[in-house]
Structure 1
Amino acid sequence: MAETKTIQEQHTAGPQAIGFDYQFYYFMLLALDLKFGQKIGFEVKDDVHIDKEDGTTILYQAKHTIIKNAKGKPQNLTELDTDLWKTLSNWADFIIADKSSDFLKKHTFILVTNKSESNNDFITTLNLFKADNDSDKVKLKIKELGNKTKDETLKKYLKKVTKLSKSKLELFLKKLWIEIGEDKIIDKIKNKILEKYYQENLVDPIFEKFSSELNLSKYLDIKAGQKFEISGSEFGKRFGKCFKVSNEIRPLPKREFPVLLPDDLESQIFIKQLLDIGEIQPGSNDIRNYTTQMLKFLNHFTYWSEEENFILLTDIEEFKNNSIQIWINEFKAKYRKIERQINYGSAIEDLEDDIKNLGVDLVDYIRKQDLSIPGFSALGIEFSNGHYYALSDKLEIGWHFDWSNKYKKE
């Protein structure tokens, strides 16, 4: 059974598949920084390439391993790593095929890998060359590595690089970069999205939409026999909708917060206002229910605006102003006749019964409002009512025609 499992494992493409995924996600990471005048391609000129505004091109080879070292990190990129030398050999082929030096002058070469580095003599020698420009040391190091290995394929890769003329080898080495330890690529993409939008709650939705749309576009373009390339100017047209999630109407998250009712429920200003117009009676269960609605809203509003910063300060102000304006408009409509009667000399005390009835009507109208905070879906009637109770408790709105004088004196 164990032997059968080993044979099956040899025929699975898991490690290879994740290698392709790594290339794609690295492409996605670079695409997020694409500028106007640039063009990025996937599996066109290399694993990934970027054509820059000045006519030069960056070629990327992305290599991934699932093998871990003793510390649980991706295995080291050794000086005789097959991925390393196969990549350099392929680039050497490109350079040799071009009889002039135009290809070298116009290209930069970057090998990206999640592998770690530990005492890689070739990388050390390459870094020294960038300081002293002595290509003979590099060539000597490559020949030493060729003598160290018995792998004929690896020997062929090493030899291909040494076939470059001195001038071409020097220019190649100057334009060659090896980026090791590029692991957790998805986290890096999400961090890049966070840097652009500054709201952590938007990162996952944007990532999911962008990666899905990018992958689908890749499949359809290649299936249609087209190159999968994206220019900076067309990026917004093709994928801008993936980032509109930051502007989409979405619900605010809700949690279960403990509701701590005050000892004297009827001493609350908003309850006094409702008692005075006869909307509720002393001792009514409505008093507890209305207080619970207000506190549930206030707990969530604090969570949204202060603890998690889902809501911008400007949105909070707009939400509040809009809520109060709805009340102002209906208050004026309800009490227009009462105001006219008082202006003509009627005593407010003589109009008290009418005022209380209109006050109840005003409360009924306001309770039907399903408010929303800019950028988010409607709060629902319960939270909207709770918000208005909170406003009336702070004496920012009222129900009685003379509410501002009746309660601000207390």
Structure 2
Amino acid sequence: MAGTKTIQEQHTAGPQAIGFDYQFYYFMLLALDLKFGQKIGFEVKDDVHIDKEDGTTVLYQAKHTIIKNSKGNPQNLTDLDTDLWKTLSNWVDFINADKSSDFLKKHTFILVTNKSENNNDFITTLNTFKADNDSDKVKLKIAELGNKTQDETLKKYFKNVSKLSKSKLELFLKNLTIETGEDGIIDKIKKRIFEKYYQENLVEPIFERLSANLNLSKYLEIKAGQRFEISGEDFGKKFGKCFKVTTDIKPLPKREFPVLLPDDLESQIFIKQLLDIGEVQTGSNDIRNYTTQMLKFLNHFTYWSEEENFILLTDIEEFKNNSILIWINEFKAKYRQIERQINNGYAIVDLEDDIKNLGVDLVEYIRRQNLSIPGYSDLGIEFSNGHYYALSDKLEIGWHFDWGNKYKKE
């Protein structure tokens, strides 16, 4: 059994997942200090990068270990550390791939790790170079380290770095920083938040809201094939509400948006659903009114969530989930007896009249709901109804007992 556990542990991705989390939290730490005119990116140009106002770029590689030394601290960053030399070799590849002579002039390189330094000869040599500008000593050190290992992959990294021309190597070394012992990253983020607001009771809720919304935004943008980059201006606009931790309930702003009705109102899925249960009749003015309510809500919701970023992504998710849960609970209550009859062998076609009546009752119940978005006052009945019409138009909810089969085949 012990052997099986060891095999299982060898195939888990826990350490790798923590490494990705470390990169994200380091990104979050840097984002808190982002200035107007700057732009930060995650997994775009490197693990993290910052484009600065002067046209230069800082590339960050963030490396994490869960391995502890005998004192219980993260293991040392040794002279032959694979993460160290793989990172340097990758940056050399960036330099060689760029055909212009400006790449090194416009980029700085920072390796960040939670590993301890503990007399790393290469770091000592790098620091000496920054004082005396003698790159020959650095080349000798790289050659010396290359001769100390039998690892072919490491040898390849050493060789790649040492092949830089003298002028490029010197500029690379001048622009290179290695930051060790960068551990406790979450505590550092919370400290940074505290330093900005000096209210300890706000730190935890701000941290939770900001990390959740940054992470969700990252997921959605990368999933959509987009680059996850945030400018200083966008950071305040998209995530500023994370810092407004307050119990004040306020209304969302309303505007007059043009409502452009579709040509064929009765071809809309949500209208088909209402027609099928007999809640509305073909040609009724109610169809136009219901469509108007839905479009007014959708116009405002886009304005609140996308154009002006009044609403956080997590708030949107909570609002939608809560709305659907209200429908789920009432749907189950209304159709409990129908479900029992079907389970007892009744054909659904023989229960159609009862289903339609219950469907209308369900619609009427849902129309009485006055929904609210977290942090804001009630939407009002018109917008709440419009939201439910939109959900039914997207086939996320329905009114007929068999709505999932009845409409999703269309």
Partner amino acid, structure 1, of 2:182: E
Which SS does the other structure have where 2:33 is aligned?
coil
In the TM superposition, residue 234 of structure 1 has moved relative to its aligned partner by 1.1
Matches within 5 A, 1:57-72: 57-72=57-72
* Paired position in structure 2 for 1:181: 181
Q: Is the 8 A contact 1:64 1:113 kept in 2?
A: yes
Which SS does the other structure have where 1:27 is aligned?
helix
Structure 1 residue 242 corresponds to structure 2 residue 242: yes
Extract unaligned runs of 5+ from structure 1.
Answer: 251-410
- Distance (Å, rounded) in 2 between the aligned partners of 1:248 and 1:77: 47
Partner amino acid, structure 2, of 1:160: N
Alpha-carbon RMSD: 0.9
Partner amino acid, structure 2, of 1:218: K
* Paired position in structure 2 for 1:52: 52
* Paired position in structure 2 for 1:217: 217
Offset from partner CA, 1:311-333 (integer Å, 9 cap, x none): xxxxxxxxxxxxxxxxxxxxxxx
TM-score, normalized by length of structure 1?
Answer: 0.60
Partner amino acid, structure 2, of 1:123: I
- Distance (Å, rounded) in 1 between the aligned partners of 2:99 and 2:221: 33
- Distance (Å, rounded) in 2 between the aligned partners of 1:133 and 1:79: 21
Partner amino acid, structure 2, of 1:148: K
Offset from partner CA, 1:323-362 (integer Å, 9 cap, x none): xxxxxxxxxxxxxxxxxxxxxxxxxxxxxxxxxxxxxxxx
Matches within 5 A, 1:357-368: none
Matches within 5 A, 1:80-159: 80-159=80-159
Q: Is the 8 A contact 1:101 1:168 kept in 2?
A: no
- Distance (Å, rounded) in 2 between the aligned partners of 1:248 and 1:65: 40
- Distance (Å, rounded) in 2 between the aligned partners of 1:151 and 1:36: 45
Partner amino acid, structure 1, of 2:40: I
Q: Is the 8 A contact 1:65 1:75 kept in 2?
A: yes
Count of residues paired in the alignment: 249
Offset from partner CA, 1:269-299 (integer Å, 9 cap, x none): xxxxxxxxxxxxxxxxxxxxxxxxxxxxxxx
Q: Is the 8 A contact 1:122 1:141 kept in 2?
A: yes
Matches within 5 A, 1:6-405: 6-245=6-245, 247-249=246-248
Partner amino acid, structure 1, of 2:31: A
Partner amino acid, structure 1, of 2:83: D
In the TM superposition, residue 101 of structure 1 has moved relative to its aligned partner by 2.2
* Paired position in structure 2 for 1:257: none
Partner amino acid, structure 2, of 1:147: N
Runs of 4+ in 1 over 4 A off after TM superposition: none
- Distance (Å, rounded) in 2 between the aligned partners of 1:249 and 1:72: 46
- Distance (Å, rounded) in 1 between the aligned partners of 2:194 and 2:12: 36
Partner amino acid, structure 2, of 1:153: T
Give the fraction of aligned pairs with identical amino acids, expressed as a percent. Answer: 86
- Distance (Å, rounded) in 1 between the aligned partners of 2:66 and 2:190: 21
Offset from partner CA, 1:225-278 (integer Å, 9 cap, x none): 000000001111110111111x4449xxxxxxxxxxxxxxxxxxxxxxxxxxxx
Q: Is the 8 A contact 1:63 1:112 kept in 2?
A: yes
- Distance (Å, rounded) in 2 between the aligned partners of 1:177 and 1:79: 15
- Distance (Å, rounded) in 2 between the aligned partners of 1:248 and 1:121: 55
In the TM superposition, residue 97 of structure 1 has moved relative to its aligned partner by 1.2
* Paired position in structure 2 for 1:356: none
* Paired position in structure 2 for 1:407: none
Which SS does the other structure have where 1:177 is aligned?
strand
In the TM superposition, residue 98 of structure 1 has moved relative to its aligned partner by 1.7
In the TM superposition, residue 179 of structure 1 has moved relative to its aligned partner by 0.3
* Paired position in structure 2 for 1:291: none
Which SS does the other structure have where 1:156 is aligned?
helix
TM-score, normalized by length of structure 2?
Answer: 0.60
Partner amino acid, structure 2, of 1:216: L
Partner amino acid, structure 1, of 2:133: N
- Which of structures 1 and 2 has the bigger CA Rg? 1
Q: Is the 8 A contact 1:15 1:66 kept in 2?
A: yes
Which SS does the other structure have where 2:50 is aligned?
strand
Partner amino acid, structure 1, of 2:48: V
- Distance (Å, rounded) in 1 between the aligned partners of 2:89 and 2:202: 42
Partner amino acid, structure 1, of 2:168: K
Q: Is the 8 A contact 1:37 1:231 kept in 2?
A: yes
- Distance (Å, rounded) in 2 between the aligned partners of 1:147 and 1:248: 64
In the TM superposition, residue 116 of structure 1 has moved relative to its aligned partner by 0.3
In the TM superposition, residue 134 of structure 1 has moved relative to its aligned partner by 0.3
Partner amino acid, structure 1, of 2:122: F
Partner amino acid, structure 2, of 1:94: F
- Distance (Å, rounded) in 2 between the aligned partners of 1:77 and 1:162: 20
